Amino acid sequence: MTVAYVTGASSGIGKGAAVRLAQDGAKVVLLGRNEKRLAEAVAECGPQAAYAAFDAADPAEVNSHLPALIEQHGNPDVVVHAAGITVVGALDQLTPQEWHQQMDANLNSIYYLNKHLWPAMALNGGSIVLVASTASFAAFPQDAAYVASKGAVLALTKAMALDGAAQGIRVNAVCPGFILTPNLQGYFDAQADPAAAAGGAAAAAPLNRMGTPEDVAGAVAFFASPDSSFVTGTSILVDGGLMARVPG
Protein backbone atom coordinates (compact mmCIF):
# COMPACT_ATOMS: atom_id res chain seq x y z
CA MET A 1 0.00 0.00 0.00
CA THR A 2 1.21 3.49 -0.86
CA VAL A 3 2.11 5.56 2.19
CA ALA A 4 1.59 9.30 1.86
CA TYR A 5 2.54 12.08 4.28
CA VAL A 6 0.69 15.37 3.82
CA THR A 7 1.51 18.58 5.67
CA GLY A 8 -0.95 21.38 6.22
CA ALA A 9 -3.58 18.66 6.16
CA SER A 10 -6.04 20.08 8.66
CA SER A 11 -7.73 22.31 6.07
CA GLY A 12 -7.60 23.73 2.57
CA ILE A 13 -5.33 22.32 -0.09
CA GLY A 14 -3.56 19.93 2.28
CA LYS A 15 -6.80 18.41 3.49
CA GLY A 16 -8.09 18.13 -0.09
CA ALA A 17 -4.92 16.34 -1.15
CA ALA A 18 -5.07 13.96 1.80
CA VAL A 19 -8.68 13.01 1.14
CA ARG A 20 -8.01 12.44 -2.56
CA LEU A 21 -4.94 10.29 -1.93
CA ALA A 22 -6.93 8.23 0.57
CA GLN A 23 -9.70 7.80 -2.00
CA ASP A 24 -7.05 6.57 -4.43
CA GLY A 25 -6.04 3.85 -1.97
CA ALA A 26 -3.12 5.37 -0.05
CA LYS A 27 -2.50 5.13 3.66
CA VAL A 28 -2.31 8.82 4.52
CA VAL A 29 -0.55 10.41 7.48
CA LEU A 30 -1.98 13.89 7.98
CA LEU A 31 0.30 16.47 9.60
CA GLY A 32 -0.76 19.87 10.89
CA ARG A 33 -1.06 22.11 13.92
CA ASN A 34 -4.78 21.92 14.73
CA GLU A 35 -5.54 18.58 16.36
CA LYS A 36 -9.33 18.99 16.29
CA ARG A 37 -9.42 19.75 12.57
CA LEU A 38 -6.90 17.00 11.84
CA ALA A 39 -9.14 14.48 13.58
CA GLU A 40 -12.07 15.66 11.46
CA ALA A 41 -9.99 15.38 8.30
CA VAL A 42 -8.84 11.88 9.19
CA ALA A 43 -12.47 10.83 9.53
CA GLU A 44 -12.99 11.85 5.91
CA CYS A 45 -9.94 9.86 4.82
CA GLY A 46 -11.07 6.55 6.29
CA PRO A 47 -9.73 3.89 8.64
CA GLN A 48 -6.26 3.65 7.07
CA ALA A 49 -5.50 7.30 7.84
CA ALA A 50 -3.65 8.68 10.85
CA TYR A 51 -2.59 12.12 12.04
CA ALA A 52 -0.07 13.93 14.19
CA ALA A 53 -0.40 17.50 15.47
CA PHE A 54 2.78 19.55 15.51
CA ASP A 55 4.24 22.65 13.87
CA ALA A 56 6.16 21.79 10.70
CA ALA A 57 7.83 25.20 10.88
CA ASP A 58 9.46 24.33 14.22
CA PRO A 59 12.52 22.10 13.70
CA ALA A 60 12.49 20.91 17.31
CA GLU A 61 8.89 19.70 16.96
CA VAL A 62 9.64 18.06 13.61
CA ASN A 63 12.66 16.26 15.07
CA SER A 64 10.59 15.16 18.06
CA HIS A 65 7.66 13.70 16.10
CA LEU A 66 8.68 12.64 12.62
CA PRO A 67 11.12 9.75 13.23
CA ALA A 68 8.55 7.91 15.36
CA LEU A 69 5.84 8.53 12.77
CA ILE A 70 7.99 7.03 10.03
CA GLU A 71 8.77 4.02 12.21
CA GLN A 72 5.08 3.55 13.02
CA HIS A 73 3.49 4.16 9.63
CA GLY A 74 6.24 3.29 7.18
CA ASN A 75 8.56 4.98 4.73
CA PRO A 76 6.91 7.56 2.49
CA ASP A 77 6.05 6.79 -1.11
CA VAL A 78 4.42 10.20 -1.49
CA VAL A 79 5.01 13.46 0.36
CA VAL A 80 2.85 16.54 -0.15
CA HIS A 81 4.14 19.80 1.30
CA ALA A 82 1.00 21.92 1.67
CA ALA A 83 1.78 23.70 4.95
CA GLY A 84 1.70 27.44 4.51
CA ILE A 85 0.44 30.82 5.65
CA THR A 86 0.06 34.29 4.14
CA VAL A 87 1.69 37.29 5.80
CA VAL A 88 0.35 40.45 4.15
CA GLY A 89 2.49 43.55 3.64
CA ALA A 90 4.99 45.35 1.45
CA LEU A 91 8.62 44.53 2.19
CA ASP A 92 9.33 47.78 4.03
CA GLN A 93 6.27 47.26 6.23
CA LEU A 94 7.14 43.79 7.48
CA THR A 95 8.79 43.19 10.81
CA PRO A 96 11.65 40.69 10.97
CA GLN A 97 9.34 38.39 12.93
CA GLU A 98 6.71 38.50 10.17
CA TRP A 99 9.30 37.85 7.46
CA HIS A 100 10.75 34.84 9.27
CA GLN A 101 7.29 33.53 10.17
CA GLN A 102 6.40 33.49 6.47
CA MET A 103 9.62 31.80 5.40
CA ASP A 104 9.49 29.24 8.20
CA ALA A 105 5.97 28.14 7.29
CA ASN A 106 6.18 28.14 3.49
CA LEU A 107 9.83 27.31 2.80
CA ASN A 108 11.86 26.21 5.80
CA SER A 109 9.29 23.61 6.83
CA ILE A 110 10.10 21.72 3.62
CA TYR A 111 13.75 21.58 4.67
CA TYR A 112 12.97 20.52 8.25
CA LEU A 113 10.67 17.68 7.17
CA ASN A 114 12.85 16.41 4.38
CA LYS A 115 15.79 15.91 6.72
CA HIS A 116 13.76 12.86 7.83
CA LEU A 117 11.42 12.04 4.94
CA TRP A 118 13.98 12.18 2.12
CA PRO A 119 16.33 9.47 3.47
CA ALA A 120 13.34 7.24 4.16
CA MET A 121 11.96 7.76 0.65
CA ALA A 122 15.37 7.24 -0.97
CA LEU A 123 15.27 3.55 -0.06
CA ASN A 124 12.60 2.82 -2.69
CA GLY A 125 11.99 6.09 -4.51
CA GLY A 126 8.76 8.04 -4.59
CA SER A 127 7.06 11.31 -5.41
CA ILE A 128 7.28 14.65 -3.62
CA VAL A 129 4.76 17.37 -4.42
CA LEU A 130 5.41 20.94 -3.31
CA VAL A 131 2.62 23.50 -3.22
CA ALA A 132 3.88 26.61 -4.97
CA SER A 133 1.57 29.31 -6.39
CA THR A 134 0.79 31.61 -9.27
CA ALA A 135 2.82 33.95 -7.03
CA SER A 136 5.83 31.83 -7.99
CA PHE A 137 5.58 33.47 -11.42
CA ALA A 138 4.03 36.90 -10.83
CA ALA A 139 3.74 39.18 -7.82
CA PHE A 140 0.80 40.62 -5.95
CA PRO A 141 0.96 44.02 -4.22
CA GLN A 142 1.31 44.05 -0.44
CA ASP A 143 2.42 40.41 -0.49
CA ALA A 144 6.22 40.55 -0.60
CA ALA A 145 7.12 37.77 1.82
CA TYR A 146 4.55 35.36 0.42
CA VAL A 147 5.68 35.99 -3.16
CA ALA A 148 9.33 35.52 -2.17
CA SER A 149 8.56 32.26 -0.37
CA LYS A 150 6.58 30.80 -3.26
CA GLY A 151 9.20 31.82 -5.81
CA ALA A 152 11.72 29.94 -3.69
CA VAL A 153 9.46 26.88 -3.52
CA LEU A 154 9.36 26.67 -7.31
CA ALA A 155 13.14 26.98 -7.57
CA LEU A 156 13.55 24.37 -4.83
CA THR A 157 11.35 21.99 -6.81
CA LYS A 158 13.87 21.95 -9.63
CA ALA A 159 16.87 21.57 -7.32
CA MET A 160 15.29 18.70 -5.40
CA ALA A 161 14.29 16.97 -8.63
CA LEU A 162 17.90 16.95 -9.83
CA ASP A 163 19.17 15.69 -6.49
CA GLY A 164 16.51 12.99 -6.26
CA ALA A 165 16.65 11.58 -9.78
CA ALA A 166 19.39 9.05 -9.11
CA GLN A 167 17.43 7.74 -6.12
CA GLY A 168 14.14 7.42 -7.97
CA ILE A 169 12.65 10.43 -6.21
CA ARG A 170 10.51 12.65 -8.41
CA VAL A 171 9.78 16.21 -7.28
CA ASN A 172 7.13 18.43 -8.84
CA ALA A 173 4.98 21.38 -7.83
CA VAL A 174 1.36 22.40 -8.12
CA CYS A 175 0.83 26.13 -8.54
CA PRO A 176 -2.67 27.11 -7.42
CA GLY A 177 -4.31 30.36 -8.32
CA PHE A 178 -7.17 31.69 -6.21
CA ILE A 179 -8.33 28.61 -4.31
CA LEU A 180 -11.04 29.21 -1.74
CA THR A 181 -9.34 28.12 1.49
CA PRO A 182 -9.10 29.56 5.01
CA ASN A 183 -5.65 30.92 4.08
CA LEU A 184 -7.00 32.83 1.07
CA GLN A 185 -9.98 34.07 3.09
CA GLY A 186 -7.50 35.51 5.58
CA TYR A 187 -5.84 37.39 2.74
CA PHE A 188 -9.19 38.79 1.62
CA ASP A 189 -10.06 39.77 5.18
CA ALA A 190 -6.83 41.80 5.40
CA GLN A 191 -7.85 43.96 2.43
CA ALA A 192 -9.71 47.26 2.71
CA ASP A 193 -12.80 45.73 1.06
CA PRO A 194 -12.83 41.95 1.60
CA ALA A 195 -15.96 41.38 -0.49
CA ALA A 196 -14.52 43.28 -3.43
CA ALA A 197 -11.24 41.38 -3.12
CA ALA A 198 -13.06 38.04 -3.21
CA GLY A 199 -15.16 39.12 -6.15
CA GLY A 200 -12.10 40.27 -8.05
CA ALA A 201 -10.39 36.95 -7.44
CA ALA A 202 -13.37 35.02 -8.77
CA ALA A 203 -13.52 37.20 -11.88
CA ALA A 204 -9.78 37.14 -12.56
CA ALA A 205 -9.66 33.65 -14.05
CA PRO A 206 -11.09 32.98 -17.52
CA LEU A 207 -13.09 30.13 -16.00
CA ASN A 208 -14.78 32.85 -13.94
CA ARG A 209 -14.60 31.27 -10.51
CA MET A 210 -12.22 30.55 -7.70
CA GLY A 211 -10.87 27.03 -7.47
CA THR A 212 -11.47 24.45 -4.76
CA PRO A 213 -9.06 22.25 -2.83
CA GLU A 214 -10.43 19.33 -4.86
CA ASP A 215 -9.27 21.03 -8.06
CA VAL A 216 -5.71 21.12 -6.75
CA ALA A 217 -5.97 17.59 -5.36
CA GLY A 218 -6.45 16.25 -8.88
CA ALA A 219 -3.07 17.63 -9.93
CA VAL A 220 -1.47 16.30 -6.75
CA ALA A 221 -2.92 12.86 -7.46
CA PHE A 222 -1.43 12.90 -10.96
CA PHE A 223 2.04 13.70 -9.64
CA ALA A 224 1.66 11.00 -6.98
CA SER A 225 0.61 8.33 -9.48
CA PRO A 226 2.52 6.10 -11.92
CA ASP A 227 0.95 8.17 -14.72
CA SER A 228 3.64 10.78 -14.04
CA SER A 229 6.55 8.34 -13.78
CA PHE A 230 8.59 10.32 -16.36
CA VAL A 231 7.69 13.74 -14.95
CA THR A 232 10.00 15.55 -12.54
CA GLY A 233 11.27 19.05 -11.90
CA THR A 234 8.20 20.75 -13.31
CA SER A 235 4.93 22.33 -12.23
CA ILE A 236 1.26 22.49 -13.10
CA LEU A 237 -0.74 25.71 -12.88
CA VAL A 238 -4.14 25.10 -11.31
CA ASP A 239 -5.46 28.61 -11.78
CA GLY A 240 -8.49 28.57 -14.05
CA GLY A 241 -6.40 30.14 -16.82
CA LEU A 242 -5.35 33.15 -14.71
CA MET A 243 -1.73 33.19 -15.89
CA ALA A 244 -2.71 32.72 -19.54
CA ARG A 245 -4.48 36.08 -19.71
CA VAL A 246 -2.74 39.30 -20.72
CA PRO A 247 -4.02 42.02 -18.39
CA GLY A 248 -6.32 44.41 -20.17
Sequence-distant contacts of 41-46: CB under 8 A, at least 24 apart: 41/9, 41/10, 41/11, 41/15, 44/15, 44/19, 45/18, 45/19, 46/22
Dihedral in degrees, nearest 10, Cα atoms 9, 12, 15, 21? -120
- Cα-to-chain-centroid distance, residue 112: 14
| 146 flagged as catalytic | yes
Rounded Cα gap, residues 77 and 103, in angstroms: 26
List alpha helices for the chain, DSSP H: 12-23, 35-45, 59-73, 96-103, 109-121, 144-164, 182-189, 194-204, 213-224
DSSP 8-class letter at 148: H
Residue 232 CB coordination number (10 Å): 20
Residue 94 CB coordination number (10 Å): 17
| Residue 125: half-sphere exposure toward Cβ, Cα within 13 Å | 12
Amino acid at 152: A
CA distances 54 to 4, 59, 244, Å, are 17, 10, 38
Amino acid at 134: T
The one catalytic residue among 51, 112, 146, 187: 146
| Catalytic annotation, residues | 146
